[in-house]
């Protein structure tokens, strides 16, 4: 398992996703972790049994573009990150507008 994380700027994520897709990678998962002044997003891409991890550092309130137009399955992970952490992800191909998870409190992981 590759334990290294490649740091990518938020505004470069679509380019990075397109490059990885061209190289034959598929999207394995996207997740978020709360930090003191924002969020760390980890996107995992796989090719056969190899893994490439991409990390994006976001400040509070900083938006990021969706990669669901590059990897269609991303819409699930991105709606999850929006509903649990309140991350502003723009242009999700299927945007549930905060109704993906029926949680008792809004953005419970924020």
Sole window of 6-14, 37-45, 59-67 interacting with another protein (rule: CB under 8 A): 37-45
Phi then psi for 83, rounded to 5 degrees? -75, -35
Handedness of CA 54, 10, 8, 94 (dihedral sign): positive
In 3D space, the residue among 64, 91, 71 whose CA is nearest the CA of residue 19 turns out to be 71
Binding residue (CB under 8 A) for another protein from 12, 26, 60, 90: 26
- Residues that bind another protein in the complex, under the rule CB under 8 A: 1, 3, 5, 26-29, 31, 33-34, 40, 42, 44, 48-49, 51, 53, 71-73, 75-76, 83-84, 94, 99-103, 108-109
């Amino acid at each position: 398992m590759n334990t290294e994380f490649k740091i990518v700027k938020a505004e470069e994520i679509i380019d990075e996703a397109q490059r990885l897709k061209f190289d034959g990678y598929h999207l394995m998962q996207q997740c978020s972790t709360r930090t003191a002044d924002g969020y760390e997003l980890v996107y995992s891409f796989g090719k056969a049994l190899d893994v490439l991890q991409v990390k994006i550092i976001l400040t509070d309130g900083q938006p990021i573009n969706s990669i669901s137009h590059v990897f269609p399955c991303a819409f699930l992970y991105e709606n999850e990150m929006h509903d649990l952490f309140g991350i502003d992800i723009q242009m999700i191909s299927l945007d549930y507008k905060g109704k993906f998870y029926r949680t008792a409190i809004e953005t419970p992981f924020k």
